[in-house]
Amino acid sequence: MVRDGIWITGGTVFDGTDRPGFLADILIDRGEIADVRPIGEDALPPSERSPYHPVIDARGKVVTPGFIDMHSHSDLALFRPEGVGVKLRQGVTTEVLGQDGLSVAPVPPNQQREWQTRLAGLLGELPLPWAWSTIPEYLEAVAALPPEVNVAYLVPHGPLRGTALGTDAVLSNPAADEQMGRAIASGMDAGAFGLSFGLIYPPSAYANTEELTALARSTAANDGFVVVHMRNESSNVLAAFDEMRQVAKASGCPVHISHLKVAGKPNRPLWPALLDAIDRARSDGLDITFDQYPYAAGSTVLDALLPGWAHAGGSEALLGRLADPDHRRKMKRAMLGDEGPSIWEERGGPSAVMIAWVRSAANADVIGKTLEEIADQRGEDPLDVLMALVLEERGAATMVSFWGEDADIIPAMGHAAGMFCSDGIYGPHPHPRLSGAFPRVFGEFVRRQRTLSWPEAVAKMTSVPAKRLQLSRRGRIKKGWAADLVVMDPTRIDSLATYASPLVPPKGVEWVLVNGTIAVARGERTDARSGQVLRHRSGRVYRAR
C-alpha cells in the first residue's frame, strides 16, 4: 500500500471540467494524484487512511487544480530572493513566461546590456552577465534553482528580430525570416511552447503582417502556437484582431491573444463586434483563443506611451531623442494626436496613468502618484513629466493605466475561447493583479456578481489553459495526473490587494500543492521549491544537467 503520501479529505472537488462540485477524498503520492474517492460512493476506510501524512482537512472547503497563469512576467523574479510567493499565495502553480515578444533568452552576451536596459521596467534587473544566453541555458538555469512553480516558456520575437535585423524600424526579408525561423525551431526543440509577439513594443512593433505570418508558419511547423499582444486594444482593436485572423488563416498556426480588452469608455460599443469577429473566425475553423486579467486597468512600461518611431535604434537612441528638445516637441505633437489617435489619449491621459515603479531613489516620491498629480506638484506639463521620468530612469519605470470599469471586462469573461492571467509586473507599488488576479475572479465574478459558475471559473484557470499549452496530465484532478492543487474557502476567497495597497495577500487560499509538495500551508508560504520546467508537447520535465 502507498505510504507517506498526502490525504486531502472531505473537500468539494471542482475537477477542472464542467462537472459540478462533488465531495471526495484525494490521495497524493510521489507528486501525482494516486486516487480520487467520492465520499458516499467509495470512501476510503479508516484502516487505509493512517499511512497518509500530512492530512489536510478540507471539509467545508473547495479543492481545485492549481491555476495556470497564461501571461506572466516572472522571468527574472524566479532568481530573486523573494521569488514568486505572490503567485503561490493566490493558487498559481504554473506560469507562462517569455511574453510580449520581450524576454531574456535567446540574448547573445554582447546584447545583454541593451536588453537589461530595455527589460528593466517589465522584468526588473538581475546582475550581468546573465548565466545564460540561449533558451536551453535559460531553462537549465531555472531548473537548477529549482523554481517554486512550474514554468512554461515562449520564444520571444523581440530578441530574434534584434539579432536578425537590429533595432531599427526596418522591414524583414526572406533571409531574416529564415534566420528567425531557425531560432524558433531551436527554442521549441529546447522545450518552448510557441512564439510571442509584442506588437506595441519595439522591435516587434516594426514587423509587418507578412513577417508575422512567416514566423507563425515556422511555429506551426514545430507544433506550437503564437501568443500576441495586438497592435491596438482600443479604437482600432477590430483592425488589430483582423490582422491576427489573417495570420492564423495564412499560416495555419493557432493564435492566442494576450489580455483581450477594449480600452477606453468611448470604445465600449466595439465589444460585440470584437467577440462576433472571434466567433466567426473560430466558426471558420481558425484556432483562436485569448486570456484576460480581471481588472479594468493595465500595467506596462512607462515608455510604451511614447510614439513607436521614438524607440527606433534601441534604448540609447530613445534616450538620446528624449534629451533633444526638438525630438521632445515632435513626440509631444504625436502624443497629442497629430499623427492620429495616440496611446496617450486612449489610456485616458495624465489622470489615468499612475507610476508603479522607478529605479532611482531620486524619483521614489512619484511612486503611487498619477502623472497629473506629479505635474501639479512640480508645476510642469504632464507630457514633460512623462518624458523626463523615462529619461531620468533610463527607461526603468512602469505604470498602471486606468482604462475602464468592471463592466468593460465582463463581456468576454464567459466566452468559450477565454481563460485568465495575471500579467503582473513586479515592483514596490505594482498593479494589484500581481497579488490578487485569481482570487478576485472567485470573490468578485463568481461569488458577488455571479458572472461565472464555480466550474466555469475553475476550468478557465486550469484545464482550458492546459489544453491550449498541450500539457500532458495537468489541469485536472484525475488519478495519475500531476498533483498541482489548491484548497480554498469558498466563502472567503477574494483579493485584498488594492491600487493603494497592491501587495496585500489574498484571503481564503489555504493550501497550495505544487507537484505533490505543500507550497502554501494554512495561507502561509513554505520553503518548498517543487516546481518544474515543463517541456512542449509531452509535458515532460526539463531537468538541469
- DSSP character string of 167-191: SSS----HHHHHHHHHHHHHHHHTT
User: Which residues lie closer than 8 Å to 425 by C-beta, 6 or more apart?
Assistant: 73, 121, 122, 299, 300, 356, 357, 398, 431, 434
Least confident of 23-27, 56-60, 313-317: 313-317
Residue 391 confidence (pLDDT) above 60: yes
Q: How buried is residue 111: exposed, middle or buried, by Cβ count under 10 Å (0-12/13-18/19+)?
A: middle
Asked if the structure places residue 198 within a domain, the reply is: no
* DSSP letter assigned to residue 336: I
* Number of domains composing the chain: 1
Percent of the chain with pLDDT over 70: 93
Q: How buried is residue 208: exposed, middle or buried, by Cβ count under 10 Å (0-12/13-18/19+)?
A: exposed
Residue 323 confidence (pLDDT) above 80: yes
Asked if the structure places residue 365 within a domain, the reply is: yes
Residue 493 confidence (pLDDT) above 50: yes
Report, as an integer, the average pLDDT of 263-282.
93
Asked if the structure places residue 456 within a domain, the reply is: no
- Confidence at 487, pLDDT banded by 50, 70, 90: very high
Report, as an integer, the average pLDDT of 249-269.
94
User: Which residues lie closer than 8 Å to 99 by C-beta, 6 or more apart?
Assistant: 71, 72, 73, 154, 156, 196, 198, 227, 229, 258, 423
- Confidence at 359, pLDDT banded by 50, 70, 90: confident
Predicted confidence (pLDDT) per residue in 93-117, tens digit: 999 999 999 999 999 999 999 999 9
- Confidence at 405, pLDDT banded by 50, 70, 90: confident
Asked if the structure places residue 388 within a domain, the reply is: yes
Residue 484's pLDDT is: 98
Residue 1's pLDDT is: 40
Asked if the structure places residue 133 within a domain, the reply is: no
Residue 342 confidence (pLDDT) above 90: no
Residue 2's pLDDT is: 42
Residue 3 confidence (pLDDT) above 60: no
**CA angle centred on 444, ends 441 and 446, rounded to 5°:** 65
State which H helix or E strand residue 22 sits in: strand 22-29
Residue 34 confidence (pLDDT) above 70: yes
- Confidence at 343, pLDDT banded by 50, 70, 90: low
Residue 542's pLDDT is: 56
Report, as an integer, the average pLDDT of 469-491.
97
Residue 246 confidence (pLDDT) above 90: yes
Least confident of 427-431, 447-451, 476-480, 520-524: 427-431
Asked if the structure places residue 472 within a domain, the reply is: no
Report, as an integer, the average pLDDT of 483-487.
98
Residue 479's pLDDT is: 97
Q: Which domain holds residue 365?
A: 308-397
Residue 466's pLDDT is: 97
Contact 425, 485 (CB under 8 A): no
Asked if the structure places residue 6 within a domain, the reply is: no
Residue 165 confidence (pLDDT) above 90: yes
Of the two residues 352 and 437, the one the predictor is more confident about is 437
Asked if the structure places residue 481 within a domain, the reply is: no
